[in-house]
Chains A and B, each alone.
Chain A
Amino acid sequence: MSDTHAQTVAYVREGMLEQQAPPTKEAGAIRWLRENLFPTWLNAIMTLVAIYVIWYLLSGLLPWIISPTWFSGSLSECREILTGAGQSTHQACWGVIRDRWDQLVFGFYPQELYWRPVLALVVLLAGLAPILFGRFPKWFLGFSMASPFIIFLLLWGGPIWFPVMVALGFVLGAVAFRSAVRFNQIVGVLAAILVPILFWLFLAEPIADALTSVLPIGLESISSKQFGGFLLSIVIGVAAIVLSLPLGIMLALGRASDLFIVTKLSVGFIEIIRGVPLIVWLFTASLLLNYFLPPGTNFDLTLRVIIMVTLFSAAYIAEVVRGGLAAVPKGQYEGADSLGLSYWQSMQLIVLPQALKISIPGIVNTFIGLFKDTTLVLFIGLLDPLGLTSTIRASTDWNGIYWELYVFIGLMFFIACFSMGRYSLHLEKKLQREHR
């Protein structure tokens, strides 16, 4: 065969041609630069402007940031170190972060008990794991349910019996529901609501007191006045979002229901809460909330703030969940109806599990917003990280320090919020994949 070809074709190349390098304009870094940075004149100008902006920012900030002042104990010491090293005093004084680190993170929590908030954070993350990552053994869900009580005990301390009694109320509610639901659905729901409330109102306290006097186990009690710094931000943010979830879901169901009065009431509550800025609600919590409680009761300020922020975030959660409810296909509702499920059964078994799953990214985003907004509590005298800045500046050691604290606090918030934001984005993508 090859012979015949050898005669008909004058020349056949035996081997492959050496692969040639592409023209320099079309290869490697230059090509990338040409395509991504200088494709057109306008783009080239924009690139140059961008480079200038970056250079301007970095050249201004870096010399300020790089400053050998980590171990200084006061602002004047900082200035000495800097002049001693022959540098200008217009540089950061990072000693304040080292000196006040504990305060910025834990506030006034007793130093020897720092392990408690840390452990509480671990319990929180562990408790959240099944909800956030899915697929955990069933007993782990029990731990998740118990974790709020464990966290409460760890943070505030006190006798172990109060959180136990409160948890017991829920257990009693569940038992009452199980036993009463055999007779009738509605009686079951009523029993599940009434039994725990009656238990908490009349039995919980005497029993807890009695148990405390018999078996005084517990942790040293810490007043919430001693909370501060990032601990306070996290406590307010997490407590508000966790507590607002049930309320927000109820509101969302109310808004989506076809009962006229219930819908209007839910809409009214949501719009009133969302129409007024958080700072006004915080001032209300600080100045007015006590007036609306029975004469003689007096919550401490942190708790009042948690209550108010809970109501506030419930309105936002309600809107997120409403979106989730709307995203559940109509066939699911109809399917539930055709199986003869009651409203609560269909919600509990069919609709809410799907709606809540869709809502998780939105809930995480609401939490990010809420977490950032906890900084507003400084205006009512709570010492969150930003509130602590002016307190720290009031000490003679650090009077005159300004930017360092803001930069540090901003960085901490950025790290926390950015990673949570990435996580919610990841969830959203995962949900989209699952829906396909």
Chain B
Amino acid sequence: MKKTVLFGTLAVAGLTAAAASAATLDDVKARGHLNCGVVTGLAGFGAPDANGVWVGFDVDVCRAVAAAIFGDKNAVEFVPTTGETRFTALSSGEIDLLARNTTWTMSRDTDLKFDFIGVNYYDGQGFLIPKSLGVTSAKDLDGATVCIQTGTTTELNLADFFRSNNISYQPVAVQTNAEGQQQYLAGACDVYTTDASGLAATRATFENPEEHVLLPEIISKEPLGPLVRHGDNEWGDIAMWTLNALVAAEELGVTSANIGEMSAAPTSNPEVNRLLGTEGDLGAMMGLSADWAKNAIMAGGNYGEIFERNIGENTPIGLARGLNAQWTDGGLLYSPPFR
């Protein structure tokens, strides 16, 4: 009995993280690091390497936010979350930011009391199927066995799709992408369905990727984005504008290579100057230093660089930009102006 009290006291004294109080930014600053919720392991989007350093597309968003606040991209602790624990972790204040390919839906935004701060990847649910089955459309999948990750929106989309097309299927529930891949390759299911980016990433790591095809149907919209707790708008602004800064930097041609030069002195482009803090003081409006955006971009490069390094066409994942290109290139990425 006494020892329980002991550890309770110890916990209160030494180990408690700061509470989920109103001013998240103050808590984060007092703590000295950002707590960022990530996936327990998804190739390209978030996984630790052999040295325990987290890398990935979502992970880089966390690092950018940490850099914007502290000027140090390593001032972040990653909290692996599962599909089931991610929302409680955020609402209980265990993490300050959830960057874990989470679909922006209305009920999550309103009923579960979160705020999505933007979209860092436009995705949709697709189907992966062996070529040898000769299926060309998802509507031919009547009676198929489908591997699906539980605890995601894809589960509901799938039920709706098959129901509206009046065909039947047999679901095989899997916990993680790695498990889904293993079941699919073993032939325990005919089709594997999840976000199309995930499917492409998974297919890229197969021994014989050319033996598998993605069906043309994309049955849902999956805007994946980072999210914060509802109610702390100052904190939401910081996360939102950090993401926007990464997108804007690509649009304005600011890269991690030329940022040192561009931020040394005001350039001819006033928006670049405002973004990098050489003109005006946008950072102070959010309670950050003037070079917040510069730090965020230097953490992992602009949006395009982060994309190319983690999931782009030159990586084993090999995703094309598609919808995730800048609006100037026909994509959906569109940052509001920095003014």
Bind each other: yes
Question: Which A positions have Cβ atoms within 8 angstroms of B?
Answer: 79, 99-100, 102-103, 107-108, 111, 148, 152, 156, 158, 162-163, 165-166, 169-170, 173, 193, 196-197, 200-201, 204-205, 208, 223-226, 239, 242-243, 245-247, 250, 283, 286-287, 290-291, 295-301, 303, 306-307, 310, 379-383, 387, 389-397, 399-400, 402
Task: Flag if A399 contacts B43 (CB, 8 Å).
Answer: yes
Task: Flag if B2 contacts A310 (CB, 8 Å).
Answer: no
Task: Flag if A298 contacts B16 (CB, 8 Å).
Answer: yes
Asked if B80 is at the interface of the complex by the 8 Å CB criterion, the answer is yes
> Please, how many angstroms separate the alpha-carbon atoms of A62 and B81 in the complex?
37
> Please, how many angstroms separate the alpha-carbon atoms of A387 and B48 in the complex?
12
Asked if B234 is at the interface of the complex by the 8 Å CB criterion, the answer is no
* Option from A102, A223, A299 in Cβ contact (under 8 Å) with B11: A299
> Please, how many angstroms separate the alpha-carbon atoms of A107 and B53 in the complex?
11
- The smallest beta-carbon distance between A146 and chain B, in angstroms, is 13
Task: Flag if B17 contacts A298 (CB, 8 Å).
Answer: yes
Task: Flag if B40 contacts A383 (CB, 8 Å).
Answer: yes
Residues from chain B with a CB closer than 8 A to the CB of A391 are 40-41, 47-48, 80
- The smallest beta-carbon distance between B40 and chain A, in angstroms, is 6
Query: Which of B18-26, B244-252, B262-270 is near enough to bind chain A?
Result: B18-26
Q: Interface residues of B toward A: which range?
A: 35 or more
- The smallest beta-carbon distance between B205 and chain A, in angstroms, is 4
Residues from chain B with a CB closer than 8 A to the CB of A152 are 10
* Option from B11, B42, B77, B179 in Cβ contact (under 8 Å) with A303: B11
Task: Flag if B9 contacts A200 (CB, 8 Å).
Answer: yes
Q: B149-182 vs A: 1/0 string, CB under 8 Å?
A: 0000000000000000000000000011111011
- The smallest beta-carbon distance between B259 and chain A, in angstroms, is 28
Residues from chain A with a CB closer than 8 A to the CB of B20 are 296, 298
A-B contact pairs, 13 of them (CB 8 A): A103-B52, A165-B13, A283-B84, A295-B19, A299-B15, A380-B82, A381-B81, A390-B176, A391-B41, A393-B41, A394-B177, A395-B47, A400-B185
Task: Flag if B47 contacts A394 (CB, 8 Å).
Answer: yes
- The smallest beta-carbon distance between A379 and chain B, in angstroms, is 7
> Please, how many angstroms separate the alpha-carbon atoms of A246 and B5 in the complex?
11
> Please, how many angstroms separate the alpha-carbon atoms of A162 and B6 in the complex?
11
- The smallest beta-carbon distance between B206 and chain A, in angstroms, is 8
Q: What are the 5 closest A-B residue pairs judged by CB atoms, nearest first?
A: A394-B41, A391-B41, A296-B19, A394-B47, A399-B205
State whether A400 and B179 are in contact (beta carbons under 8 Å apart), knowing that A381-B85, A391-B48 are contacts in the complex: no
Task: Flag if A400 contacts B40 (CB, 8 Å).
Answer: no
Q: Is the interface of A mostly helix, strand, loop or mixed?
A: helix
Asked if B258 is at the interface of the complex by the 8 Å CB criterion, the answer is no
Residues from chain B with a CB closer than 8 A to the CB of A393 are 41, 178
List 9 additional contacts besides A162-B10, A170-B6, A399-B205; criterion CB under 8 Å.
A102-B50, A107-B52, A246-B4, A286-B88, A297-B12, A303-B15, A381-B80, A395-B48, A396-B43
Q: Which of B46, B175, B178 has the most chain A CB atoms closer than 10 A to its own CB? A: B178
> Please, how many angstroms separate the alpha-carbon atoms of A392 and B205 in the complex?
14
Q: B24-66 vs A: 1/0 string, CB under 8 Å?
A: 0000000000000001111110111111100000000000000
- The smallest beta-carbon distance between B112 and chain A, in angstroms, is 13
Task: Flag if A395 contacts B40 (CB, 8 Å).
Answer: no
Task: Flag if B179 contacts A298 (CB, 8 Å).
Answer: no
- The smallest beta-carbon distance between B13 and chain A, in angstroms, is 5
Residues from chain A with a CB closer than 8 A to the CB of B118 are none
State whether A243 and B82 are in contact (beta carbons under 8 Å apart), knowing that A383-B40, A390-B41, A402-B182 are contacts in the complex: no
Asked if B130 is at the interface of the complex by the 8 Å CB criterion, the answer is no
Residues from chain B with a CB closer than 8 A to the CB of A300 are 15, 17, 94
* Option from B39, B48, B89 in Cβ contact (under 8 Å) with A108: B48
Q: Which of B17, B50, B317 has the most chain A CB atoms closer than 10 A to its own CB? A: B50
- The smallest beta-carbon distance between A253 and chain B, in angstroms, is 11
Q: B298-319 vs A: 1/0 string, CB under 8 Å?
A: 0000000000000000011100
Task: Flag if B40 contacts A390 (CB, 8 Å).
Answer: yes
Closest residue of B by beta carbon distance from A199: B9
> Please, how many angstroms separate the alpha-carbon atoms of A291 and B94 in the complex?
12
Asked if B105 is at the interface of the complex by the 8 Å CB criterion, the answer is no
Residues from chain B with a CB closer than 8 A to the CB of A399 are 43, 178, 181, 205
Task: Flag if A380 contacts B85 (CB, 8 Å).
Answer: yes
Task: Flag if B47 contacts A156 (CB, 8 Å).
Answer: no
> Please, how many angstroms separate the alpha-carbon atoms of A256 and B108 in the complex?
50
Asked if B92 is at the interface of the complex by the 8 Å CB criterion, the answer is yes
Asked if B79 is at the interface of the complex by the 8 Å CB criterion, the answer is yes
* Option from B46, B78, B179, B181 in Cβ contact (under 8 Å) with A225: B78
